[in-house]
Structure 1
Amino acid sequence: MLVVEGGEGEEAAYNEPVSPTGQYFNSSALSICILVVFESDVPIDDSPTMSTLENLFLPINPRFSSIMVKDENGVQQWKRVKVKLGDHVNVPTFPTGLESYDQCVQDYLSQIALEKLPQSRPLWDLHIIKYPTSNAEGTMVFKLHHALGDGFSLMGALFSCLHRADDPSLPLTFPTPRDKAMKKSLWGSICGVVPRVLSVCANTIRDVGWSLWKSTLAEDDTTPLRSGTPGLEFRPITISCVEFSLDDIRKIKAAVGGTVNDVISGIIFYGTQLYMQRVGEGQRRRAARVTAMVLLNTRIVSSYETVEKMTKTNAKSPWGNQFGFLHVSIPTSKNAEKADPLYFIRKARKIIKAKRSSFAVYLTGRLLEMLRKLKGPEAAALYIHTTLRKSSMTVSNLVGPIEQTIIAGHPVRSFHFMVVGVPQSLTITVISYMGKLKVAMGVEKGFIDSELLISSLKKSFERIFEAAIGQENLNRCF
């Protein structure tokens, strides 16, 4: 068994306190992890994979070689330990001779999503699936505890283990937002300041008040997207994916206006409404209360930085959990089948613009910190759990490399991520890669029909594309 030294001497025993958010996500109330699924063009080979773990992955951050312990004052710390790679690497065995292993892989992902990572060793695992599916010749699944960092940090760490397939010596490149800012006159700038300040203040007051109300008093209705069953984080999930062309998303954006995020949010909003109507929700007398918890990166940078930069003192984009969450009310329609599909994009753009023009995401973080100081990290974790439980879904998105990549010598055909351990019936994640936008949905098994939900999202895209671009162009997409 390969053993990797994690630290030297007693000086390395307690080298870093656990951040408040890290304490929340690894508590009696919450245990949230991220699954990152890499689908390979070739069968998985163990040897280069183990070498990548030892020489690239583990050195990225000491937390990958540490466990959480309490010091003599009861303060949680990261303690460096020796890493036995064999304890972290799992290679499942499925029945032989099957025509397809898609269902086996799906069931296996559901199984590892439920399993808790042992607290006696560093909080990560790697699962190597050597069976081909309709999407890949082999699959690697990293399971990383959210206490190690947020999605931005953890994906940045994994991207450090990737190389470009066309030229490994070149750095990965990522999509960057296009700057469309217009130069304004001094007088125009001054005249615009006051309305913007008033708008930010109004949006902040409204968002903070509504978030507090939603977290403490209000609760979403029971719908086909929310069962409201206690202990949802302990129930099996099904993970399904759908891909959209980034070029097609940009065509819609050019025709309707807004951003790529506005378009994909509109597709998700409309798709969930179509799903609810298809399973009978349209018979409800009043519109159901459906809200999403949207995770927002609070860093002041818009793209990934090297791990070396992220781990420096006073880094612009520090390692860790640097995000906040906001409630977003999902637009509803009495008859989604007959509704204007572009209404959902316009509504998404309006909602996101207002949320971005608000300091609520920062203030909610301050409120959590105050609660932690007054009542302890367990109370803050319980508050987050209650907030998640009372809403219908969580939505998070990240950007991925533009070029095809390789990991441990394996060309990556596609990849996606999923947040697991959340007390909700539906979790949606979005990531871009090689000109595609992949939407992954983790749904409560036996409650949400994952195939119908995927179908509803596809129908949502088709109708939005047709309304924005036209039927002729839609036929070229499929």
Structure 2
Amino acid sequence: MKNSKMKSMAIKKKEKEKKEEEEEPMSPTGRMMLAPKFNIFIILFMGYYSKIDPILFKKCIHQTLLKHPRFSSILVASGASFRWRRTAVDLDRHIFVPDVAAAAESPDEFVAEYASRLSVIPMESAAKPLWEFHVLNVKTSDAEAVVVMKIHHSLGDGVSLVALTHACSRKIDDPASLPVLPLPSKKRREGGGRGLLKLIWMVVLILFYTLVDVAAFVSTLLFLRDVKTPVGAGRGVRLSRKRFAHRIVSLEDVKFIKNAMNVSVNDVVLGVTEAGLSRYLNSIYVKNRGKGGENNEKSSNCLPKNLGIRSTVVFNLRPSPTIEDLAEMLEKEELNGMWGNVVAIVLLPFTIALQDDPLTYIRKAKSTMDRKKLSLAHQCACITMKLTTSFFGIKAAARLTRAVFRNTTFTFSNVMGPAEEVNLFGHHLRYIAPSVCGFPQSLIIHYQSYNDKIIISIGADEKLISNPDQLCDDLVKSLQNVKEAVKQRALASASLDYC
């Protein structure tokens, strides 16, 4: 019996050693994200309804996240080659519970300052896996406690990492069950007798829009740069500290606008972003011209005419894994080819102007997105980066990617979250607000849905945008203005029908 037990222990020890010695090559995109001057980290804020029990939190991390191969691997460099090597993880080196006594006077500012410092603190890739949690048991305006997660983007693309977070969560009323994610809306296929003519016209549009977008992308790589604005990045912005802010708004308000205008949720948040940026930039131009004061900011239009900027949108080309797939992957501790950074870049134009009718922003956003959906430029961009990597190496591909970000103004993203509130790492989650640091732009605007809420999350260079809370407020105000305009239009329509 004793020999049998010793044999079993020896087998387990061998399996553990074998696991630690396993190596897997790093993907080209992952290597690019570790290139000099392009070291990208995700900063994830998780607000909770209760104080965090560090012991329970660690236990849940051990039972879920540590089963993911990427979160239990270190980077091993051999010349120009990088590989993931499985290793034993010491959670005490990844989960920190700092003293929060200094947060008594201004808890929101304490959390913001803490996260801002994290944006410039390096993480040694050879010392430990590239992620860590910071548990801040301080009551803020939105939560009883906040956990800030810092994770290197080379571990996975944003959509996969958010999906992984969901796979680590459980239903509030059924701790054994996974939460429900909203399904993407499917468009109805319209029939018709002119199918061939429609198909030919569609092919013409796809070719035309693809050629236009490819030309714009190549021009951006080589020389085309956005006009300078108060939110445009300067030299060295990648190394500067970032400030983070967020606001929680009603998802029902967004859906109300969506249904009333027959558009998508993405169209709504895109239009709101253009409206909010226009409002924010106008207030800066007003102040710069010596017309300070609240009344002037609301009534004066000091925006330059024909002011256009562009946003980069980075999205996953690989089919997004489902929560069930990721949960199975965690159980088996195998990636099964469903992980990594397989991404493309799309350039979105924004017209910065104050519109008399707030609904104009939504209509323009829909027109832009409808056109982008007919373009294959993102596929061409992905192929370009792959060819560049193959023929000229990672540094050349990173240089081109930096050029895209450097020559545009900001990054925009919109990700769906669970359709219900969840228990994440042993505690009831109130909100989740992701952002990014370490890339050559001064601003990222991210929308994250969760239950009946949408969290607007801002990451900004503190030198250029010292008060990202104002931009958050302008985005919220723009959403309210669009909602009120929709209501007024509905009332006017009902009045005409009555007459």
Global fold match (TM > 0.5): yes
Change (3 A) 1:456 1:284: closer
Q: Contact between 1:252 and 1:469, CA under 8 Å: does it hold in 2?
A: no
Question: Which of 268, 273, 291 is 2:278 aligned to?
Answer: 273
SS of match in other structure, 1:117: coil
Question: Residues of 1 paired with 2:177 and 2:86: CA distance?
Answer: 33
Question: Which of 480, 483, 486 is 1:462 aligned to?
Answer: 480
Stretch deviating more after TM superposition (110-119 or 463-472): 463-472
In structure 2, the residue matched to 1:240 is 245
Question: Residues of 2 paired with 1:463 and 1:98: CA distance?
Answer: 35
SS of match in other structure, 1:116: coil
Q: Contact between 1:331 and 1:344, CA under 8 Å: does it hold in 2?
A: no
**Is the counterpart of residue 33 in structure 1 residue 50 in structure 2?**
no
Choose 1 or 2 for highest CA Rg.
2
Deviation at 1:11, TM superposition (A): 7.5
- Pairs aligned (count): 461
User: Percent identical across equivalent pairs?
Assistant: 28
Question: Residues of 1 paired with 2:321 and 2:22: CA distance?
Answer: 32
Q: Deviations over 1:340-386 (max 9, x none)?
A: 21111111111111112111111101101111112110111121112
Structure 2: gaps spanning 5 or more residues? 1-12, 287-300, 492-499
Question: Which of 174, 177, 185 is 1:178 aligned to?
Answer: 185
Q: Contact between 2:54 and 2:97, CA under 8 Å: does it hold in 1?
A: no
Q: Contact between 2:416 and 2:450, CA under 8 Å: does it hold in 1?
A: yes
Q: Contact between 1:6 and 1:83, CA under 8 Å: does it hold in 2?
A: no
Change (3 A) 1:169 1:12: closer
In structure 1, the residue matched to 2:317 is 298
Query: TM-score, normalising length from structure 1?
Result: 0.90
Deviation at 1:97, TM superposition (A): 7.5
> Structure 2 matches for 1:419-458, cutoff 5 A?
419-448=436-465, 449-458=467-476
> Structure 2 matches for 1:110-149, cutoff 5 A?
110-120=116-126, 121-149=128-156
Deviation at 1:469, TM superposition (A): 1.9
Deviation at 1:472, TM superposition (A): 10
1:319 partner letter: W
Change (3 A) 1:179 1:74: closer
Q: Contact between 1:404 and 1:413, CA under 8 Å: does it hold in 2?
A: yes
In structure 1, the residue matched to 2:32 is 24
Deviation at 1:248, TM superposition (A): 1.2
SS of match in other structure, 1:205: helix
Question: Residues of 1 paired with 2:49 and 2:450: CA distance?
Answer: 15
Q: Contact between 2:169 and 2:178, CA under 8 Å: does it hold in 1?
A: no
Question: Residues of 2 paired with 1:296 and 1:357: CA distance?
Answer: 16
Question: Which of 343, 354, 363 is 1:323 aligned to?
Answer: 343
Structure 1: gaps spanning 5 or more residues? 474-478
Question: Residues of 2 paired with 1:76 and 1:353: CA distance?
Answer: 40
Question: Which of 188, 192, 202 is 2:198 aligned to?
Answer: 192
Stretch deviating more after TM superposition (275-284 or 385-394): 275-284
> Structure 2 matches for 1:159-178, cutoff 5 A?
159-178=166-185
Q: Contact between 1:44 and 1:128, CA under 8 Å: does it hold in 2?
A: yes
Q: Alignment RMSD, CA only?
A: 2.4
Change (3 A) 1:133 1:407: same
Q: Deviations over 1:156-175 (max 9, x none)?
A: 22212211112223321111
In structure 2, the residue matched to 1:369 is 386
Deviation at 1:285, TM superposition (A): 4.7
Deviation at 1:408, TM superposition (A): 2.7
In structure 2, the residue matched to 1:209 is 215
Q: Contact between 2:254 and 2:265, CA under 8 Å: does it hold in 1?
A: yes
**Is the counterpart of residue 394 in structure 1 residue 394 in structure 2?**
no
Question: Residues of 1 paired with 2:335 and 2:246: CA distance?
Answer: 38
